[in-house]
Structure 1
């Protein structure tokens, strides 16, 4: 006779007996032994914690589901809920800098099995909020932001409330704990201004993007530090801030012409601003660099035109986008670890608009 309890007999309502085999509860230790990992790793995976590679996470979930570990059902459901879509919020896609960031992000995302939901704000905070709400509603898996201003904390809070990871690219909110990818804007700006000062120019105006942009503010601070160190005269007070576009650069030059204050050099915080400035100067029969030297920042148009050999700072735009996607996908996979601030190398590109002589034939 079998010992009592070896098989459970369940009495039915109509008096008949029906046998049922109850599967024993699978423990995390059993999953760990079968998967060849530690119990801590299994715990991390089942609780969605960081510190486990995507490959190990997937392996543990597969083993747990096969064994019938109850927690694996929820984990597998969470994994299946991914939309495989990443949000990318740009400042202005008409700006070639952001267009190339978008191209790099899309290529990098597709290489990781994601598509990209792209939008731009044109510096409008209400647009940023509505875009963020739309991305949350569409359940994107993560977001890359290039548009943040110091007063955009509500956007960050809404993403965190929705448990959507994000990476700040080029711009950042200094007080926000999060991943960031960019260049050392301050150092790059000091190098550019030192080059301009090296030509002997003593009357200089800076034209940068909005000071609410951390990148523009750092560039302006870098320019200013060199001017102050050399004790140079700066026309038009603190310098001019404008929209990051060719029209913004042109308007800044018109402002200078209207006030009859035309410096010997214009040091611009972006290439599109510089090109707008050069266009406005030429319309007014002012020669570059013979009358006014002009420099840019971003490295958007290397060799694009024999008429504009712009002296500028080159940013590795595609590499920045790829790095941002790498960090974001690690966050999505739950293996991001501590927040990172990644600064990629920049380089000076010396053209002729600063006053340097063309090299070669």
Structure 2
């Protein structure tokens, strides 16, 4: 493999001149630059990314950790991160934690040892926990996505889940529903709690009653939505509408309702949350709350690069706003409840 020394010998210049031409670190005359570049081409010279990273203390690589899930939401966010990294000239190393705290900590250690320039974390299983390794690598910028309170310094990108839950329940109220249930995510998770709080705020504003039989906590997965609906069904009379706290659970709810001969939206209106790509292809197409997933990923990369360029910035929170997407799974109730 050719080196700068080989290029210098062929071009008849010093090694430092070759370095300045290749790294564009200082002005070199056009004539000498042309000789150096010609020699480099003849020798099939390829710059060493490792050597350059050691010199500038940057590897142009970002590490991202995400909880493995069947939910396409994560994949759509990762797509925004990956594309933004590519546009900015960065590589992305993606690690799945599978919801395992030990595996998450090992992955963080591995990425830091590989000298990534920064970390993007999308693993709510460590919400509120202290991660000691960040104290050892305190100069590595960290951006977290959609977490609750954190015990380490980082920038944060989040969806306004409180407003999203409010918009969902308010839409059901506006089309005439008075008996409205809610299938929540795990309420120990910040996003799930905030969506539930938004639902409660809308019902309180409308002075509607809460029926405990119509509120079921679940797990953000299809199977969880399916089981949650069956639990609600087993307790007796159903509401006329249900806010389901993500689209994956909504898919499970629609499946369970279909098995029982309950028509959506004629007998029961359903609104989801996330607006994952497949929500428009459900039967019926799902009315849902849109989360700007691509922009979440893009904002995370932008915040990380901003932190790399200015480490003295105060930690920032970038909040992206949800919006309603009306499709076919919500209609006015057959009669007032």
Q: TM-score, normalised by structure 2?
A: 0.75
**Aligned twin of 1:88:** 64
Matched, 1:346 2:329: no
**Residues 118 and 235 of structure 1: is their aligned pair in 2 closer, same or farther, counting only changes over 3 Å?**
farther
Q: Is the 8 A contact 1:169 1:182 kept in 2?
A: yes
Q: Is the alpha carbon distance of 1:231 and 1:337 closer, same or farther for their aligned partners in structure 2, counting shifts above 3 Å? A: same
Q: Which residue of 2 aligns with 1:104?
A: 80
What's the offset of the Cα at 1:354?
A: 1.6
SS of alignment partner, residue 304 of structure 1:
helix
Say whether 1:159 aligns with 2:134. Answer: yes
Structure 1 stretch displaced more, 88-97 or 280-289: 88-97
Partner SS state of residue 234, structure 1:
coil
Could you say if the C-alpha distance between residues 306 and 172 of structure 1 is closer, same or farther in structure 2, counting changes exceeding 3 Å? closer
User: Is it true that 1:337 corresponds to 2:313 in the alignment?
Assistant: yes
User: 2:180–2:214: 8 Å Cα contact kept in structure 1?
Assistant: no
The 2-side partners of 1:169 and 1:303 are apart by 22
Query: 2:231 maps to what in 1?
Result: 255
**CA drift at 1:321:** 0.5
In the aligned structure 2, how far is the partner of 1:167 from the partner of 1:271?
A: 25
Contact 2:244 2:271 in 1 (8 A): yes
Equivalent in the alignment of 2:191:
215
3-state SS in 2 of match to 1:299: coil
Shift of 1:92: 3.0
Query: What aligned pairs does 1:212-361 form with structure 2 within 5 A after superposition?
Result: 212-236=188-212, 239-260=215-236, 262-301=238-277, 304-305=280-281, 307-335=283-311, 337-355=313-331
Q: Deviations over 1:96-148 (max 9, x none)?
A: 11101111111111222222121233433333223323323333221111223
Q: How far apart in 1 are the matches of 2:69 and 2:79?
A: 11
Question: Cα–Cα, structure 1 residues 122 and 261, in superposed 2: closer, same or farther, change >3 Å?
Answer: farther
The equivalent of 1:189 in structure 2 is 165
Looking at structure 2, the residues matched to 185 and 306 of structure 1 have their Cα atoms a distance apart, in angstroms, of 23
Q: 1:154 aligns to what SS in structure 2?
A: coil
Report whether the alignment pairs 1:202 with 2:185. no
Structure 2 gaps of 5+ residues are 1-22, 27-51
Alpha-carbon separation, structure 2, partners of 1:336 and 1:313: 36
Q: Which runs of 5+ in 1 are unaligned?
A: 1-57, 64-75
What is the CA deviation profile of residues 211-257 of structure 1, one whole-angstrom value per residue up to 9, with x for unaligned ones?
23222211111111122233323333682222222112111112223
Q: What's 2:44 paired with?
A: none
**Using a 3 Å threshold, how does the CA distance of structure 1 residues 211 and 134 change in structure 2: closer, same or farther?**
farther
Work out whether residues 204 and 263 of structure 1, in 8 Å CA contact, stay in contact via their aligned partners in 2. Answer: yes
- Change in Cα spacing, 1:206 to 1:126, as seen in structure 2 (3 Å) is farther
Task: Name the counterpart of 1:25.
Answer: none
CA distance in 1, matches of 2:312, 2:148: 18
1:83–1:253 CA distance, 2 compared to 1 (3 A) = same
Name the TM-score, length of structure 1 as normaliser: 0.71
Measure, in 2, the Cα distance between the counterparts of 1:228 and 1:176.
35
